[in-house]
Amino acid sequence: MQYKYKKESDIQTTGCLVHYILTDGEHPYQATTPYSNDPLALFQNLRAGTFTLKCEERQQGIIGRMLCKSTEACPTIEECLQAITSFTHQADHNGVTNNSNNNGNKEIEPQISLSLDMSEEEEDIDDEPTEVDDEVAKKVITKKVVKTGMKTDENVLECSLKGVKVKMSSNTPHKRVYYKKNYCLYCEKPFGKVTRHLMRKHQDEVDIAKALAHKQGSTMCSFLLSKIRNKGKYIHNCSVKSARQGQMVPKRQTTYLLSATDFLPCYFCLAMYIRTDLWRHQRRCKLRPDGPVKRKVQTYCSFLLPMDHPVSDGLKKILEDMTYDAVTRRVKSNQLILSLGERMFLKNGEVGCHRADMRNKMRELTRLVLVARDLDKDTVFLKDLITPAKFNTVLAAVKKMTGFDHLTNRFAVPSTALKLRHSPMKV
C-alpha cells in the first residue's frame, strides 16, 4: 500500500468526525452496526470510497464533499469551517435508531471539536452593523453548541418546527447582499422595499396616513413606518409558526444557521431577535415605555408567538416566571402538563406560595419526560409515559433523575423521588 499523506486526508478525517458527532456515532464508511462486527467491510468501503451519509440533508452536501476521493471536489478548510459551524447537533437522526447498541463508537467529545472550529471562524459581515456585534452572536452559538452535550430537548422542539426555517443573510465572504424580505402588514406579501410599497399602495390606511402626516424622512415618520414594518413581519412570523412551515424573518439576519426556536419577538416593537440578545435590545428599544424592563424577558416574550395549546391568563402569569430554558419550552408544548397546571391553578392558584409549587411540579414532570426520552426514543410527551407498558421506563427514568445507587439502594436526591411518586398519579 502506498498511501501518501495529503491535506485532503485531514479534511476527510474531519468529515468522518463531524458525521460521527451529527449522528451520535455512525461511521460514514461502516457497513454494519456496530461496525466492529465487520471491520473488513469498513476498510473496503474506505478504500473504494463508498460511504453512506445518515445526517440531515442540508448537512450532506459539505460532508459528502469532505469525504470525496477526488482532490478537485474537496472543499477548502475555510469552506468546511463555515459550513460546519452552522450545523447544530442532531441527536434524532433519520438513519438507524438503535442508538443503544452503538454506544461503544462514541469516542469523540462533540463539544470540544466543534467549539475549536468556532474559535477559528473568520469574521462575518452582517446586514445591520448597528445592532449587536457579531462577536456576541458567535458566543451565543458557542454556548449553544457546548450545551448540546447535555442533550436538551432542542431537537424535539425542532422536530415540531421542522418546516420552519429562519431567513439567513445571503452575504458571501466577498460580497454583501442587500436584500431583506419584509412583509406588508396589509396584503401579507413579501417586498424588498416595503416602505415604498406601503406609501404607494396603502396611503389610505390610518397608520400610514398618520406616519405620512409627519415630514417625510423625519425621525417620527420613519419611526412610525418601522413600527408598521415590524408588525407586518410579526404577523407573518406568527402565521409561519402556527402553520409550522415557511420562513421566519428576523430583525437581523445571521450568516450562520439558527433554528426557529432561537428567535423571539421583542415585547414592545415586535421585531424578532436572537433570544439571548433580547434583553440587550430591550434596553434600547425605541418603543419601550419608561420604567424597568421585566425580568425573565425570554419567557415573557415567548408568549407573543402562537402556542401549540392555549392556556388561561392565570396560568400564563405563572409560567411567565419560569426561566426560559429547555424545560420551560417543553412545559409550554406539553398539553398534559399544561392541563395539570390549569387544574392546580383552579384549585389554589391565587395563593402566592402555591405558585412556586405549581411551577416546580410542572418542571419536575417535564424533566421526567426528558430523562425518559433519553432512555426510550418513543417517549415524546407525558401521555406516552402514563401507559402500563411504559412502567419500567418511568421507573428507570426516576432512578436516573434522582441518582439512585444500586449498591447502597439509596437515592442521591430523595426529596425528588418522593415528590415524583405522587406527581404521575395526579395526571
What are 264's strand-pairing partners? 273
Q: Which three cell numbers stand for residue 402?
A: 434522582
Q: Closest separation between CB of residue 254 and Zn ion, Å?
A: 18
Closer residue to Zn ion (CB): 288 or 316 = 288
Cα–Cα distances in Å, from 100 out to 28, 93, 371, 377? 18, 14, 15, 10
Measured distance CA(115)–CA(36) in Å, rounded: 29
Q: Which is nearer to Zn ion, 167 or 231 (CB)?
A: 231
CB 238 within 8 A of CB 254: no
Name every residue whose Cβ is closer than 8 Å to that of residue 339 and which is 6 or more positions away in sequence. none
Nearer to Zn ion, 176 or 196 (CB): 196
* Closer by beta carbon to Zn ion, 28 or else 265: 265
Which residue, 292 or 388, is less far from Zn ion as judged by CB? 292
Q: Which of 83, 221, 264, 269 binds Zn ion (CB under 5 A)?
A: 269
Distance, in Å, from the CA atom of 90 to the CA atom of 84, rounded to the nearest integer, reads 13
> Smallest gap, in angstroms, from Cβ of residue 266 to Zn ion?
3
Q: Give the C-alpha separation, 301 to 319, whole Å.
A: 12
Residue 405 DSSP label: B
Q: Report if residue 371 touches Zn ion, rule: CB under 5 A.
A: no
Under 8 Å between Cβ of 403 and 410? no
Residue 181 CB, shortest distance to Zn ion, in Å, is 14
- Give residues 161-200 in contact with Zn ion (rule: CB under 5 A): 184, 186-187
Pick from 260, 266, 318, 362 the residue near Zn ion by CB under 5 A: 266
301 close to 267: Cβ distance less than 8 angstroms: yes
Q: Minimum distance between the CB of residue 287 and Zn ion, rounded to whole angstroms?
A: 6
Q: What's the closest the beta carbon of residue 12 comes to Zn ion, in angstroms?
A: 46
Footprint of Zn ion on residues 285-344 (CB under 5 A)?
285
Task: Kindly give the pairing relationship between strand 182-183 and strand 272-274.
Answer: unpaired
Of 72 and 290, the one with the shorter C-beta distance to Zn ion is 290
Q: Which stretch binds Zn ion (CB under 5 A): 48-56, 257-265, 284-292, 298-306?
A: 284-292
Pull the grid cell for residue 408: 447502597
Please name which of 409, 410, 322 lies closest in space to residue 366, comparing C-alpha atoms: 322
Residue 183's SS3 state is strand
Q: Toward Zn ion, which CB reaches closer, 19 or 281?
A: 281
Q: CB-wise, 55 or 185, nearer to Zn ion? A: 185
- Number of chain residues interacting with Zn ion (CB under 5 A): 7
- In angstroms, give the least distance from the CB of 228 to Zn ion: 10
Is residue 341 classed exposed, middle or buried when 0-12, 13-18 and 19+ CB atoms within 10 A define those classes?
Answer: buried
Smaller CB separation from Zn ion, 268 or 279: 268
Stretch that binds Zn ion, among 57-65, 108-116, 269-277, 319-327 (CB under 5 A): 269-277
Q: How far apart are CA 86 and CA 227, in angstroms?
A: 31
Q: Give least dist CB 316 to Zn ion, A.
A: 21
* Nearest approach, Cβ of residue 232 and Zn ion (Å): 8
Q: Which residues of 363-375 are buried (b: 16+ CB within 10 A; e: fewer)?
A: bbbbbbbbbbbee
Rounded to the nearest whole angstrom, what is the least distance from the CB of residue 285 to Zn ion in the complex? 3
Question: Does 268 sit near Zn ion (CB under 5 A)?
Answer: yes
Binding positions for Zn ion, rule: CB under 5 A: 184, 186-187, 266, 268-269, 285
